[in-house]
Amino acid sequence: MGASDLPEQPMPRAPQPGRQRAVTRRGGPGKAGPTKEHRRIRREARTVAAMVGIYCQGHHDTAGGHLCGECQALLDYALLRLSRCPFQEAKTTCAKCPVHCYAPARREQIRAVMRYAGPRMLLRHPLLALMHLIDGITNR
């Protein structure tokens, strides 16, 4: 593969005098300022996405990280609920939450996903499973 086979990338612009480059929390160039979502919510989003992926793969024979339409809709709904959670960083696990923000039908769907995927998370995503367990114990 020669240099001509690589896609052309735009040259980075040099910073203009008197202007500061946007810096993320990790110190690199990118979006300015911290994101709205807390680290806990982002981890919870990764956990629910992993659980829905395990469920979809086991029940709907999907592979390669792709979700069927029904599971994608459930994941989109769950992520929307997470992003609007009033507790944010102080959030408990959803099972222990005093505010039930899921519609009853969606709540049953996500419970079925968690019942199926929960034990399998220990093998496929042990760190996320452990952190979810710790969150359930510590945030009562």
Average pLDDT, the chain: 78
DSSP letter (8 states) at residue 75: H
Structure tokens at 82: 């997470």
Would you say the C-alpha torsion 80, 86, 89, 90 has a positive or negative sign? negative
Asked if 21 contacts 15 with a C-beta cutoff of 8 angstroms, the reply is: yes
Is 9 inside any structural domain? no
Domain count for the chain, please give it.
1
Residue 100 lies in a domain: yes
Domain encompassing residue 61: 39-138
Distance in angstroms (rounded) separating the CA atoms of residues 96 and 113: 17
Does residue 92 belong to any structural domain of this protein? yes
Q: Which residue has the higher pLDDT, 58 or 22?
A: 58
User: Is 88 within 8 Å of 40 (Cβ atoms)?
Assistant: yes
Residue 18 covered by a domain: no
Tell me the pLDDT tens digit for each residue of 91-132.
777 777 888 889 999 999 999 999 999 999 999 999 999 998
Rounded Cα–Cα distance for residues 139 and 90 (Å) = 7
Residue 87 lies in a domain: yes
